[in-house]
Structure 1
Amino acid sequence: MSEVLLQLEGVHTHIGPYHILHGVDCAIPAGGLTVLLGRNGAGKTTTLRTIMGLWQASSGRIRFDGLDISKAPTPDIARAGIAYVPESMAIFTDLTVRENIVLAARSGPVDSGRLDWMLGLFPALKRFWNLPAGNLSGGQKQMLAIARAIAEPRRLLLVDEPTKGLAPVMVRSMIEAFRALKAAGETILLVEQNFYAASALGDHVLVMDDGRIAHSGAMSDLVADPVLQQRLLGLSLDAHQ
């Protein structure tokens, strides 16, 4: 068993009058990629935003490497080593690709070796290096958003639906990039609706339903069990290949 890097214990989150998370319990091991699956509205994005402090947990505890971050402000959580890539990507479209990367590296210029590694993950960014980020395709913007998140070393990446709306060729490129991130030892918590991409990448899987974790285990076990896929997700991997 890998050591637990992030742990949620009985986490509830309210947004205005709405009770979204109903006691989330889960553990994210250090190293590898954990996929958070679930139907629309299950609470997946709320879980990521609660971890990041963008929405405060109403109750429960969130521990990161043993440190209680349940009530910590978002900047402190980021400084602790957690990066968040929202579904909206949150890039600066009027700035160049280079400027987007420079702004993401808050502690100073990006190390040249790290920059070469990042551009190796996402070669398209090198081609558009000095052009406005608004010129990028949807998939390329998503790649830039991820590159911004890893411009400095991070201990945990939270990524929300990186393949949403992408053409199949871009989905395959994104899968290869995440495989390279895994090989580099990054710890990733990934929300993903594309079960094919999720099954290709996940070491561990959490399935959320109605604001709770309904299933936790090895991705390989879920991939091998069409009945479990149908019960938890209402789909099967065969239908998404």
Structure 2
Amino acid sequence: MSNILELSGVHTHIGAYHILHGVDFAVPAGEVTMLLGRNGAGKTTTLRTIMGLWQPSQGDVRFKGRSLKGQATPDIATQGIAYVPENMGIFSDLTVKENMVLAARAARHAGELDTKRLDWIFDLFPALKKFWLYPAGKLSGGQKQMLAVARAICEPRELILIDEPSKGLAPSIIQNLISAFNELKRQRTTILLVEQNFMMAKALGDHVAVMDDGRVVHRGAMRELAEDQSLQQRLLGLSLGAHQ
């Protein structure tokens, strides 16, 4: 199994703060890797470092064997990596359609969007078709999250980084996202997913890296972590079984 993304000895400073302390883990191609850990463990900083929003002060981030270190975020995005931040990153004053056009590098207007791919996205998220001409700011929280994910996949991407997509969402919406991510998985899209909802982590994850205090303290199969409550307690301070 080949790795599409590898972090080795990554340190990240934000101002005077040393946030990541030698992060090491790999993301196998075509599968879902969960990045778990308590609040403040460094998960979001790790995603932002991969995307070049913050530069590593030491160590390296390699995508398909090539270093991303020192590259600007737009240049990283053009290599086939998409990022869905925790705040979703949508443009509230623009319509759903306009948000999608902005996310599509190959389209200058809606008529140039890949209609076959757009129909596939509408199958995943029917609400987006219904509210196609609505301002994105008027969507519900769940619909905004669907739009954020749809923007990331409006064109084929090899790797998608997603930061806590289920936060604050109703169980039915979370299930919809799980179905969408499983469909991406079937298409061999690689996903690195930060998530606090352990039902979602267990349903989607093939692999897991657990962070604590800016370091990776555990790597392995998601299934093994899901079945070992003592390991869950030690690494995360809670049990996956309590979050079904």
The Cα offsets for residues 110-142 of structure 1, whole Å up to 9 and x where unpaired, read as 211111111111111011011111121001101
Output the CA distance in 1 between the equivalents of 2:138 and 2:183: 26
State the partner residue of 2:170.
167
The Cα offsets for residues 122-166 of structure 1, whole Å up to 9 and x where unpaired, read as 111011011111121001101100100111111100000000011
The Cα offsets for residues 29-57 of structure 1, whole Å up to 9 and x where unpaired, read as 10011000000000000000000000010
State the partner residue of 2:191.
188
State the partner residue of 1:55.
54
1:93 aligns with 2:92: yes
**Structure 1 residues 49-198: aligned runs within 5 Å:** 49-108=48-107, 109-198=112-201
Q: Which runs of 5+ in 2 are unaligned?
A: none
Letter in 2 for 1:213: V
Secondary structure of the residue that 1:171 maps to in structure 2? Answer: helix
Secondary structure of the residue that 1:26 maps to in structure 2? Answer: strand
State the partner residue of 1:211.
214
1:30 aligns with 2:29: yes
Secondary structure of the residue that 2:12 maps to in structure 1? Answer: strand
Letter in 2 for 1:75: P
Output the CA distance in 2 between the equivalents of 1:75 and 1:144: 20
Secondary structure of the residue that 1:72 maps to in structure 2? Answer: coil
Output the CA distance in 2 between the equivalents of 1:177 and 1:106: 22
Q: Which runs of 5+ in 1 are unaligned?
A: none
State the partner residue of 1:4.
3
Letter in 2 for 1:124: A
TM-score (norm 1): 0.98
2:238 to 218, 232, 235: 235
Output the CA distance in 2 between the equivalents of 1:116 and 1:30: 26
Output the CA distance in 1 between the equivalents of 2:63 and 2:182: 24
State the partner residue of 1:13.
12
Secondary structure of the residue that 2:53 maps to in structure 1? Answer: coil
Shift of 1:4: 0.6
Letter in 2 for 1:37: L
Shift of 1:176: 1.3
Secondary structure of the residue that 2:235 maps to in structure 1? Answer: helix
Q: Please identify runs of 4+ aligned residues in structure 1 that moved more than 6 A.
A: none
Letter in 2 for 1:9: S
The Cα offsets for residues 51-100 of structure 1, whole Å up to 9 and x where unpaired, read as 00000100101100011111111111001111100000011111111111
Secondary structure of the residue that 1:8 maps to in structure 2? Answer: strand
Output the CA distance in 2 between the equivalents of 1:216 and 1:129: 41
Letter in 2 for 1:12: H
Output the CA distance in 2 between the equivalents of 1:177 and 1:238: 24
State the partner residue of 1:46.
45
Secondary structure of the residue that 2:49 maps to in structure 1? Answer: helix
TM-score (norm 2): 0.97
Output the CA distance in 2 between the equivalents of 1:204 and 1:119: 29
Structural RMSD (CA): 0.8
